[in-house]
């Protein structure tokens, strides 16, 4: 049996003019739900966009489902088998939810005989079955987000890439979405970029923390919470200062420790 990661990134760098968004990232992801955490500007969206084949890396190698993203054939094969929810969902305002999701099903080359059922199934899983024939322009922000989730899963993707998927969802909808994530992660690979640590703690099987365009931590939600008990650079006593849930304390402690180490002159490190 092959042990090759479903998502395999090596030496990945992305630069926007003079800004380094990602700096030589190495990352391998298998089945499950993987939370991608980090502060604003850390490089999460840049990484998701490269994996979604929306943007190209400046350097490095990306392989998804065994296909290199460096050539047309690999890009085409991967695009059929991934789902992608960007931060800003673009749509034609006159489309109904059904038409919006059906359009994406057509782009994903789902056979016409199967597309109708696939659209209805995806919309129902996203919690919008009662609004399937409503115009997109009539939806609230949270409903637009759920329509975006529906289009991302309409092709039952092997790899699902979600950028801030719970933005605009109310607490009850977030709970339902976490359940959907766990369901999707049981049979595929899901990558969730978010700033909500609790979404990761509850729904994810793995955690990757990005800071300054680099991976600074990889582990499980449980190990993240354990780091919260350990505290930051000042030791266990700092945990009391950090506040929040154990996972949130762990997230803050890791960032503080990384920043403290980065600020230390190389000659002073042991």
Question: What pLDDT is stored for residue 228 in this prediction?
Answer: 80
Question: What pLDDT is stored for residue 200 in this prediction?
Answer: 87
Beta bridge partners of 9: 27, 62
Which residue intervals of the chain bear CATH 3.40.50.300?
7-216
Question: What pLDDT is stored for residue 1 in this prediction?
Answer: 47
Quick one: pLDDT band at residue 265, thresholds 50, 70, 90?
Answer: low
Q: In terms of DSSP bridges, do strands 59-64 and 7-16 run parallel, antiparallel, or are they unpaired?
A: antiparallel
Task: Specify the higher pLDDT residue, 103 or 264.
Answer: 103
What fold characterizes domain 7-216?
Rossmann fold (3.40.50)
- Give the residue ranges of DSSP H helices in 154-220: 171-185, 197-203
Tokens describing residue 115: 């597309």
Residues 6 or more apart whose Cβ sits within 8 Å of residue 105: 115, 118, 119, 154, 155
| CA-based radius of gyration for the chain | 19
pTM across the whole model: 0.89
């Amino acid at each position: 049996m092959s042990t090759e990661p479903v998502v395999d990134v090596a030496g990945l760098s992305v630069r926007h003019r003079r800004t380094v968004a990602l700096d030589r990232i190495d990352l391998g992801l298998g089945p499950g739900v993987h939370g991608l955490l980090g502060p604003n500007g850390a490089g999460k969206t840049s990484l998701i966009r490269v994996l979604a084949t929306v943007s190209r890396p400046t350097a490095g190698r990306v392989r998804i489902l065994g296909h290199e993203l460096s050539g047309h054939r690999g890009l085409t094969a991967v695009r059929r088998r991934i789902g992608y929810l960007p931060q800003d969902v673009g749509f034609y305002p006159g489309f109904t939810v059904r038409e919006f999701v059906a359009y994406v099903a057509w782009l994903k080359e789902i056979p016409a005989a199967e597309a109708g059922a696939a659209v209805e199934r995806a919309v129902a899983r996203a919690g919008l079955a009662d609004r399937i024939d409503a115009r997109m322009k009539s939806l609230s922000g949270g409903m637009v987000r759920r329509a975006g989730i529906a289009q991302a899963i309409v092709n039952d993707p092997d790899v699902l890439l979600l950028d801030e998927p719970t933005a605009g969802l109310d607490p009850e909808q977030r709970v339902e979405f976490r359940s959907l994530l766990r369901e999707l992660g049981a049979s595929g690979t899901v990558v969730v970029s978010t700033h909500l640590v609790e979404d990761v703690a509850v729904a994810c099987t793995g955690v990757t923390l990005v800071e300054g365009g680099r991976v600074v931590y990889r582990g499980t939600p449980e190990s993240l919470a354990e780091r919260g008990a350990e505290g930051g650079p000042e030791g266990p006593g700092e945990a009391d200062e950090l506040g929040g849930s154990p996972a949130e304390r762990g997230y803050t402690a890791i960032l503080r420790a990384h920043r403290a180490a980065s600020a230390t002159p190389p000659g002073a490190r042991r």
